[in-house]
Amino acid sequence: MFQVPNPLFDLAGIMCGQFGIPFWKFFLATLVGKAIIKTHIQTVFIISVCNNQLLDWIENELIWVLSSLIPGFDSYLPTLTEKLHAVKEKYLAAPHPVPSNVKEKWDFSFASIWNTIVWLMLMNFFVKIVNATAQDHLKKQQDKQLAKK
């Protein structure tokens, strides 16, 4: 299955290293989280989305649960289901062919803004780690010099 890079996971690994989490504890937690929990969640999600009968059953069950638990939801239900079906049809529709001579514009979307923020956080964290390491090294050198005097 295709894995999307997750900078927040990398940040978690960097922070575990910075705070001295033992390698095997981090590795085993990562193994359980990614290989067992995340894989099963993704598998169930993909099977649910790709199986039209199962997707319709989930939709009907969700509608029944929401309409029975939330009072007054019945009035919004037709509009909501109509919008969800429109999104589903748009998603399932074949993409329009793009001419090869047309240049694509830069996509200024929420995802690009979020990725920029995450990268800035990672760079800031990296600079702080290097700075803290340098200050620690300098402090040790100064302590050695003071101990010699």
Q: Where are the alpha helices (DSSP H) in the chain?
A: 7-18, 23-31, 39-50, 52-69, 77-92, 110-148
Its pTM stands at: 0.38
Exposed, middle or buried, 26 (CB in 10 Å: 0-12/13-18/19+)? middle
Each domain of the chain, given as residue ranges in start order, spans: 102-148
Quickly state the pLDDT bin for 103 (edges 50, 70, 90).
Answer: low
For 15-32, write each residue's pLDDT tens digit: 888 888 998 998 898 889
Mean pLDDT value across residues 96-120: 75
* Percent residues over pLDDT 70 in the chain: 90
Cβ proximity of 19 and 12 under 8 Å: no
CB-CB neighbours of 121 under 10 Å: 13
In angstroms, rounded to a whole number, what is the distance separating the alpha carbons of residues 44 and 121? Answer: 32
Mean pLDDT value across residues 9-14: 80
